[in-house]
């Protein structure tokens, strides 16, 4: 964790990180037309537009919502660089995005529309913490407990889902966070061996050269 500069970023890593952030920003720059075409929309999904279960994760309510999520995405791409290779990021995003969309579709029949990548960010965060736990147990443990407690509090009756309304332009979809966090478990199972090998490589590269 926190392997920001060592070893040197590969071209593939840089292209993926910049491209991923740029994709989310471009979707936001598309305005209402792009958001309406890609958002989770129960009526449209029922009519056969199943891609919205996934694409709804990549559009946002407005600039405030977009920049809040993009900031979180950029930090995760930096902090967990040693945990995920580009293809691993992609796999985690697909699993998280599908879990959030399917969870809302099957378990939240009262939710008609949803946008935002925050659910997927929870997949990336929890998977990253679990995959790198052995190398930084104290930091990861504290963050994991704090975030798990936050999700638990979000699931309690009476939780104020409107506390960010002025910033993001709508209510926080707390169940998306919960589904995204749960999706971290299959991601960890799929990536465990590959991620451990990658982290060992990064730690070896960070060791001082012999005199």
DSSP the chain: ---SSSSPPPHHHHHHHHHHHHHHHHHHHTHHHHHHHHSEEHHHHHTT-TTHHHHGGG--SSHHHHHHHHHHHHHHHHHTTTT--HHHHHHHHHHHHHHHHHHHHHH-TT--EE--SHHHHHHHHHHHHHHTTTTSHHHHHHHHHHHHHHHHHHTSTT--TTTTHHHHSS---HHHHHHHHHTHHHHHHHHHHHHHHHHHHHHHHHSPPP-
Share of the chain above pLDDT 70, in %: 94
* Residue 7 confidence (pLDDT): 84
The class that CATH gives domain 11-206 is mainly alpha
Instruction: List pLDDT tens digits, range 157-179.
Output: 999 999 999 999 999 999 999 99
| pTM confidence score | 0.94
Who has greater pLDDT, 62 or 210?
62
Domain ranges of the chain: 11-206
209: confidence class by pLDDT, cuts 50, 70, 90:
very low
């Amino acid at each position: 964790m926190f392997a920001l500069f060592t070893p040197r970023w590969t071209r593939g890593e840089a292209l993926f990180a910049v491209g991923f952030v740029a994709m989310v920003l471009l979707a936001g720059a598309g305005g209402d037309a792009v958001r309406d075409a890609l958002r989770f929309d129960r009526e449209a999904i029922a009519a056969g537009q199943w891609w919205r279960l996934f694409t709804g994760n990549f559009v946002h309510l407005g600039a405030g919502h977009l920049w809040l999520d993009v900031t979180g995405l950029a930090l995760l791409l930096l902090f967990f660089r040693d945990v995920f290779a580009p293809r691993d990021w992609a796999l985690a995003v697909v699993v998280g995005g599908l879990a959030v969309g399917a969870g809302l579709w099957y378990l939240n029949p009262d939710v008609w529309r949803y946008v935002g990548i925050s659910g997927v960010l929870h997949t990336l965060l929890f998977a990253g913490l679990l995959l790198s736990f052995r190398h930084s147990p104290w930091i990861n443990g504290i963050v994991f407990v704090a975030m798990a407690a936050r999700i638990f509090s979000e699931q309690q009756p009476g939780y104020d889902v409107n506390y960010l309304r002025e910033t993001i332009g709508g209510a926080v979809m707390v169940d998306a966070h919960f589904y995204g966090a749960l999706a971290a478990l299959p991601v960890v199972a799929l990536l465990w061996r590959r991620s451990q090998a990658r982290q060992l490589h990064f730690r070896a590269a960070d060791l001082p050269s012999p005199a």
